[in-house]
Amino acid sequence: MEFTIGSDVEVFARNKEGKAIALCGLIGGTKQKPRQLKDLQKGFMVQEDNVSLEYNIPATSLGFDFCYYISVMGNEVNKILSGLDLVVSKESSIHFDDDQLQSEQAKVFGCEPDYNAWTKMENRKPKAVDPNLRTAGGHIHVGTGKVDMILGIRAMDLFLGVPSVILDNSPASVARRELYGKAGAMRPKPYGFEYRVLSNFWMFDPKLTAWVYQNTHDAMVWARKGHGNDLTIGQSGAIQECINTGNVEQAHAILKEYGVSLPSEGEVATKK
C-alpha cells in the first residue's frame, strides 16, 4: 500500500571528556524556522530543541530512501558536532549538570500538546523527579492516505511500540519512558500523524532503521484492514501496559500472539 514516512530525531552531545553539553545557541534553527542544510535537498533540516539537536528528513514512500536519509543525517550530525569539538551521544536520556541548564532555552520544553490514541485525550505534560533529566525521541511521521488515524497509531504501538520494549531497554531508555513515549502518544498532522512513542535508539543502526520502515508498512496494512477494531479490551490493555511498564516478557508474548517481527540479520527495507 502507499504511505509516506518521515522522521524527526533528537540527539545529545558530549565533549571529549564525557560531559553532556547543552547545544543551546550552537546549532541554529528553531521549531518555527528549522535550518535547511546547505547542499542537501529540501527537507534535510536541523534545529535546536531544548538542549538537543533535532533533525528532520524529507517524507518518502520508499524504504530505501528512508534508510538513506537517516544515514545522511547521521553523517551530517556527526560533522556538525565534530566542528564544535563534540561527539554524538547515543543515549536517549541524560542528566545534565546545572551549569548546562542556565539558559532560558534549556528550561523550555515543547509547549505543543500530544495525545493518547487509546483514550483519545490530551496527555498530561510530564514532570521529572530529576529536573536535570532531558530525553531524546525518534518520532515517526506517517502520511496515512486512507488509513484511519486512530487505528494507525494503535497499529504502530503493536508493530513498533511493543517491540521497542525489547530492543530499547537501556537504563537511559527506561528513564525516558517515565516521562515520554507512553502507549499511543501522537500528534495529528494534516498528512496523517506523528508517532511519538519511540526514542532515538533506532537511528544508530541501519538494521533498526530498515526495521522501522518495514514495521511501519506492516502497521499501516494492518490498520487499513481494520484489525484494530477487533482488539478486545484485554488485548488493547495488554499492549498499553506492556509499553508503559516496559515489560519485556509481556512484549515477547504479544509479538508471538500477533506474529510481529523483530529485526533479523541482513534485513533490508525494500517494499514500496
Q: What is the pLDDT of residues 175-204, one digit of tens each?
A: 999 999 999 999 999 999 999 999 999 999
H-run or E-run covering 183:
none
Using CA atoms, how far residue 173 sits from 19, 92, 182, 246, in Å, is 19, 6, 12, 10
Rounded CA gap, 128 and 134, in Å? 9
Give residues with Cβ within 8 angstroms of 81, minimum separation 6: 13, 53, 87, 88
- Domain range summary for the chain, segments of one domain joined by +: 4-258
- Whether 267 shows a pLDDT value over 50: the answer reads no
- The Cα–Cα gap between 115 and 148 comes to 16
Mean of pLDDT values over 128-142: 95
Range 62-79 average pLDDT? 98
Across all residues in the chain, what is the average pLDDT?
93
Alpha-carbon span 122 to 115, nearest angstrom: 4
Kindly report, residue by residue over 117-132, the tens digit of the pLDDT: 999 999 988 888 899 9
Lowest mean pLDDT among 106-115, 195-204, 242-251: 106-115
Answer yes or no: are the C-beta atoms of 7 and 56 closer than 8 Å. yes
Comparing 13-22, 53-62, 128-137, the range with the smallest average pLDDT is 128-137
CB 137 within 8 A of CB 185: no
Amino acid 92: pLDDT: 97
When pLDDT is cut at 50, 70 and 90, the band that residue 78 belongs to is: very high
Residue whose cell numbers read 511501519: 216
> CATH classification of 4-258 is 1.10.405, yes or no?
no
pLDDT of 38 above 80: yes
Between CA 225 and CA 204 the distance in angstroms is: 32
